[in-house]
Amino acid sequence: ALNQILDVTLRAIRNQSSEFTRYETAYEVQAEYSYATSQGFYGVGVYAGRDVFGDNFSRVSAFYRW
C-alpha cells in the first residue's frame, strides 16, 4: 500500500586490532515499519547487532511522528 514504509539498514565495521585490544567484526541491523494516517505516522522498530567486543545488543521501539 502507498501509506506504508519499511526501512532496513545493515552495517558492518572491521577495526584493526592492536597489541592491547583484539576487535571482532561488528554487525548491526535496524528495521522500521511505519504506517501513515491523516494524523501522522505510527510505527515500530527493531535494532540489534554485535559490537566490536563480541557483545550482543538489541532494542525494540514504537513511535509516532507528525
pTM here is: 0.82
* Predicted pLDDT at 2: 83
CA distances to 2, 11, 24, 26, 33 from 50, rounded to whole Å, are 34, 11, 9, 5, 22
CA atoms within 13 A on the CB side of 1: 7
* Predicted pLDDT at 54: 95
* Predicted pLDDT at 35: 95
Grid coordinates given for 55 = 557483545
Ranges in the chain, pLDDT < 70: 1
